[in-house]
Amino acid sequence: MEAEAAARWKPGTRRWRRALEDRRVLAPVLIAPAVIFIALVVGVPFGWAIYLSLTDAIGGSLSGSWVGFDNFTSAWSDENFRKALRNTLIFTFGSQAIVLVGAAILAHYLIRDFRGRWFLRFLIILPWAAPVALATLGWLWVFDSLFSVINWTLGHAFGVVDSNDPPQWLGRPNLALLSVIIVHAWRILPFAVVIFIAGLASIPSEVDDAAKIDGATGIKKLLYVTLPLQLPIALVALLFGIVFTAADFTVVYLLTQGGPFNSTQMLTTWSFAIGINSGSLGEGAAISLYLFPLLAAVSITMLIFARKAQVS
């Protein structure tokens, strides 16, 4: 026991060592670095965002004079802002509706063991694994105004659309909003599938057996056994999806930059336009903070839910 011999010479180290064996001391010591780091790189900027939103700070400075809630009210009175708020809600809930339905179906089948599962799973998680900005460029090309492969297929191959005047996926207000919804649903779907699979895998096999004995099969089993048991994990997937979508900047910015005519402007892209491009740091911060009630609601739901899961 060399270490102990060494410690005997220095009583201070020894006391420290002994304290480290006590979990009431050791646990905080091990957790402290993470908490301090997070407080510095998340807490400080977050506090600063709130401070900035209450000042008239402009680009290139970190402070301004106090204006109270002026930034919030002036943002609200801007028609573009309310459009952005409305778009953010449509974008978030529209894409998550697609994701939930798709993931529930796909996970149900993908959890089975079959030949070629590895390869099919690889294809399915591609949209999630690809870096967002790069995957979005792929869609920019798919939706190209002249050489869109979708329009070629619909026009030249099936004759459903007029090849001389094909749909401008990113160039018409409603179509553009639909396009960004589809791209984001496409991106989040594999992630939701993975979470669903985790949820399905955690359903004990006894439940399956009990259902079989009670004569529940097929649709009946899906409706009364599998889906209710899947509900908690579906909620987790949904909450994640909401946060990732409402806070997305990359997909919308690279596809449409908020256009045409602000029809795909989101809170994130609008706060970027005001805060960075126009240099109104204070108002930009206020706009992005409008996201916070939504995120807080989601987080609190999650917290309550986690508590419940822990009790049962």
Partner 1 sequence: MRAVRRKLSTYLVVGPFAIVLAFPFYWMLVTMFKEDLDLYNVENVPYVYNPLQWRFWESATTKHVEYVFTDTQYTDWIVNTLKVGAVVVAITLVVALPAGYALARLSGSWGQSAGIAIFLVYLVPPTLLFLPMSRLIVELKRLPGIDDEEGLKDSLWSLILVYPSFTIPFSTWLLMGFFKTIPQELEDAALVDGCSRIKALVRIVFPISLPGILTVVIFAFALCVNEFIYAFTFISSSENRTISTGVPNELIRGDVFFWQSLMAATLIPSIVLALLYNAFLDRFIKGFTGGAFR
CA 160/CA 151 separation, integer angstroms = 9
- Under the binding rule (CB under 8 A), the answer on residue 268 touching partner 1 is yes
Residue 16 binds to partner 1 (criterion: CB under 8 A): no
What minimum distance in Å lies between the beta carbon of 36 and partner 1? 9
The site map against partner 1 for 271-290 (x = CB under 8 A) is: xx--xx----x--xx--xx-
Return the residue of 5, 147, 160, 204 that touches partner 1, per CB under 8 A: 147
Beta carbon nearer to partner 1, 89 or 125: 125
For partner 1, the closer of residues 15 and 45 by Cβ is 45
Concatenate the DSSP letters of all residues of 10-66 into one string: -HHHHHHHHHHHSHHHHHHHHHHHHHHHHIIIIIHHHHHHHHHHTB---TT-S---B
Cβ neighbors of 211 (< 8 A, separation 6 or more) are 217, 221, 225
Asked if 149 touches partner 1 (CB under 8 A), the answer is yes
Residue 198 vs 216, nearer CB to partner 1: 198
Q: Could you say which of 123, 213, 219, 231 contacts partner 1 (CB under 8 A)?
A: 123
- The Cα 306–Cα 119 span in angstroms is 34
Q: Does 167 bind partner 1 (CB under 8 A)?
A: no
Near partner 1 by CB under 8 A: residue from 79, 118, 213, 231: 118
Told to check if 142 binds partner 1 by CB under 8 A, we report: yes
- Residue 202 contacts partner 1 per CB under 8 A: yes
Token readout for 96 is 């998550």
Report whether 92 contacts 245 (CB < 8 A): yes
Contact 130, 256 (CB under 8 A): no
Determine contact, residues 188/244, Cβ cutoff 8 Å.
yes
Quote the least distance from Cβ 265 to partner 1, whole Å.
14
From residue 212 to residue 251, what is the string marking binding to partner 1 with x (rule CB under 8 A)? --------------------xx--x---x--xx-xxxxx-
Smallest distance from partner 1 to CB 180, Å: 14
211 binds partner 1 (CB under 8 A): no
What is the rounded distance in angstroms from the CA atom of residue 167 to the CA atom of residue 295?
35
What's the CA gap between 188 and 128, in Å, rounded? Answer: 6
Least Å distance, CB 50 to partner 1, is 9
Residues in 74-93 at the binding interface with partner 1, rule: CB under 8 A: none
Interacting residues with partner 1 between 44 and 63 (CB under 8 A):
44-46, 48-49, 52, 60-62
Beta bridge partners of 266: none
Q: Is 297 in the site for partner 1 (CB under 8 A)?
A: no
Nearest to 285 by CA among 298, 300, 304, 272: 272
**Does residue 110 bind partner 1 (CB under 8 A)?**
yes
Position 207 contacts partner 1 (CB under 8 A)? no
- Which listed residue (6, 19, 20, 210) binds partner 1 by CB under 8 A? 20
The span of 69-77, 172-180, 223-231, 265-273 binding partner 1 (CB under 8 A) equals: 265-273
Does position 109 bind partner 1 by CB under 8 A?
A: yes
Calpha distance 245→263 (Å, rounded): 17
Characterise 161 by phi-psi region: left (phi > 0), alpha (psi -120 to 50), beta (else): beta
Q: Is 161 helix (H, G, I), strand (E, B) or coil?
A: coil
Find the binder of partner 1 among 72, 81, 139, 169 (CB under 8 A). 139
d(CA 241, CA 104) in angstroms, rounded, equals 14
Cis peptide before 173 (omega within 30 of 0): no
